[in-house]
Chain A
């Protein structure tokens, strides 16, 4: 149990009171007092999200506006390209893209979403990294951009096959949006930013709403019997089944985007031979990984038994003897798969689908196989 002092020092999102009133089991996460689950429990919350719709409070994440001093959004895009290996200039107005802040060693400082709102860029970054990210932006982009921390906004994710119908009742424009569309929209008459995205592998939306209106919007969405509140526990099992990286676990300052199997997120224009090749921190190492391959790679792992293989489990080539060849970075039970699922890093030479490996769990080596991700087919509306 936490001492009283620790609990008091935790920050609260604008939906904290709602979580408590809904019976949320509150735990510390990234400096915030957050619901890990509600009375329904992780398993039911997870399955409900895949079958119907789940509402997640992700207000702990950082929302940042990057406003070009010139007034031209492409100047903000060019400036941001100095910090990420993605093609930001090519993001059309009303669209967003997944990106990473890299460091001089080619490692990942954070992963984020970047949206083009026409006259500025809108960024969503991880809670645990948001202060460092903001300082990083200020230190590097202040000449070209005003960095505006949107701390007065909450962020609500609505995910699952019934998310579209649920949001359509409050935002007539929502159904017309495609995966990764993003921009200002009225939701229940409120000035929101809506993107068709999320981190569960399901179709769905993320809704940025003024903090003062967040509880009212969340309650209105929850009046729909298809929508249940979902805690961080199910958020984690959903993103794991979707094969998505959790920063600080599956990716960090020691992993390059190539090692992390995130090549798809780095557009050709920024790679060797591209029109704006390089020019981001760690470009030399990251482009070398693109050109020559990296020694290790993030892969999906399916256990053959029922025992969950969790973060930190060492991976071996054989059922006895030898040195570890890798480590699990995320792992647990996948409720939709009804089986244990994990991801981790292995030598690239042992990363082919179907490769038989062993994970050490409580002193026993359990057979696992390298498997394709996502583990559960995603249902994005493209």
Chain B
């Protein structure tokens, strides 16, 4: 069973067991505009919650993507690195950024469910 949670910085996390798949929300991609480059973290890197983990660049500007939880990067999305425009076409599907093995599930307590995130971006 997958649970999807959201951060106030517009990342989404799809959680299965102690692994979270992380990306940016459809709202975030709309704000960014056409994405032309993404930089993903190295597999094996340990990220601290709120640390800059990836970069997403539109024609105009570069933005950081933050680690929503502490943990080790298990896998990154090679398809996304090759085709950054996936962020615009399928932000909450094919355009996942990385999978992280969560170190502390209690960090999920501060995140929003879909209804709360919708209210946050309304």
Contact of A42 among B37, B39, B58 (CB under 8 A): B58
Residues in A with CB closer than 8 Å to B55 are 362
Cβ of A271 within 8 Å of any chain B Cβ, yes or no, is no
Bound CA span A128–B59, Å: 23
Residues in B with CB closer than 8 Å to A333 are 36-37, 57-59
Bound CA span A46–B34, Å: 11
Q: Judging by beta carbons under 8 Å apart, are B59 and A237 in contact?
A: yes
Central interface residue in A36, A41, A46, by most chain B CB within 10 Å: A41
Bound CA span A320–B62, Å: 24
Min CB distance, B65 to chain A, in Å? 13
Please report which residues of chain A, range 23-54, place their CB below 8 angstroms from some CB of chain B when the two chains form the complex.
Answer: 36-37, 41-44, 46
Given contacts A306-B37, A308-B37, contact A42 B57 (CB under 8 A): no
Please report which residues of chain B, range 50-68, place their CB below 8 angstroms from some CB of chain A when the two chains form the complex.
Answer: 55, 57-62
Interface mask (A308-340 → B, CB under 8 Å = 1, otherwise 0): 101000000000000000000000110100001
Cβ of A94 within 8 Å of any chain B Cβ, yes or no, is no
Residues in B with CB closer than 8 Å to A248 are none
Contact of B33 among A42, A306, A332 (CB under 8 A): A42
Cβ of A353 within 8 Å of any chain B Cβ, yes or no, is no
Residues in A with CB closer than 8 Å to B57 are 307-308, 333
Bound CA span A306–B85, Å: 13
Cβ of A233 within 8 Å of any chain B Cβ, yes or no, is yes
Bound CA span A81–B34, Å: 44
- The majority secondary structure among interface residues of chain B is strand
Min CB distance, B97 to chain A, in Å? 16
Residues in B with CB closer than 8 Å to A332 are 59-60
Q: Judging by beta carbons under 8 Å apart, are A362 and B39 in contact?
A: yes
Q: Judging by beta carbons under 8 Å apart, are A307 and B39 in contact?
A: yes
Residues in B with CB closer than 8 Å to A335 are 36, 59
Min CB distance, A306 to chain B, in Å? 5
Min CB distance, B104 to chain A, in Å? 27
Bound CA span A333–B57, Å: 9
Contact of B36 among A36, A233, A308, A362 (CB under 8 A): A308
Bound CA span A307–B62, Å: 10
Q: Judging by beta carbons under 8 Å apart, are B34 and A43 in contact?
A: yes
Min CB distance, A131 to chain B, in Å? 27
Min CB distance, A116 to chain B, in Å? 37
Contact of B34 among A36, A42, A306 (CB under 8 A): A42
Q: Judging by beta carbons under 8 Å apart, are A46 and B59 in contact?
A: yes
Residues in B with CB closer than 8 Å to A46 are 59
Q: Judging by beta carbons under 8 Å apart, are B37 and A233 in contact?
A: no
Residues in B with CB closer than 8 Å to A36 are 60
Residues in A with CB closer than 8 Å to B60 are 36, 42, 233, 236, 332
Residues in A with CB closer than 8 Å to B34 are 41-44
Bound CA span A35–B38, Å: 26
Residues in B with CB closer than 8 Å to A308 are 36-37, 57, 62
Q: Judging by beta carbons under 8 Å apart, are A233 and B39 in contact?
A: no
Bound CA span A46–B57, Å: 17
Bound CA span A43–B36, Å: 9
Residues in B with CB closer than 8 Å to A41 are 33-34
Min CB distance, B95 to chain A, in Å? 16
Residues in B with CB closer than 8 Å to A306 are 36-37
Central interface residue in B39, B55, B59, B62, by most chain A CB within 10 Å: B59
Residues in B with CB closer than 8 Å to A42 are 33-34, 58-60
Bound CA span A236–B34, Å: 15
Bound CA span A310–B37, Å: 13
For A333, give the chain B residue with the smallest CB separation: B36
Central interface residue in B34, B37, B57, by most chain A CB within 10 Å: B34
Q: Judging by beta carbons under 8 Å apart, are B37 and A307 in contact?
A: yes
Bound CA span A34–B33, Å: 17
If A41-B33, A233-B33, A308-B62 are given as contacts, then 15 extra A-B residue pairs at C-beta distance below 8 Å, sorted by A number, are A36-B60, A42-B33, A42-B34, A42-B58, A42-B59, A43-B36, A43-B59, A233-B59, A307-B37, A308-B36, A310-B62, A332-B60, A335-B36, A340-B37, A362-B39
A–B Cβ pairs within 8 angstroms, 7 of them: A46-B59, A307-B37, A307-B57, A308-B57, A310-B62, A332-B60, A340-B37
Q: Contact residues of B with A, CB < 8 Å?
A: 33-34, 36-37, 39, 55, 57-62
Q: Contact residues of A with B, CB < 8 Å?
A: 36-37, 41-44, 46, 233-234, 236-237, 306-308, 310, 332-333, 335, 340, 362
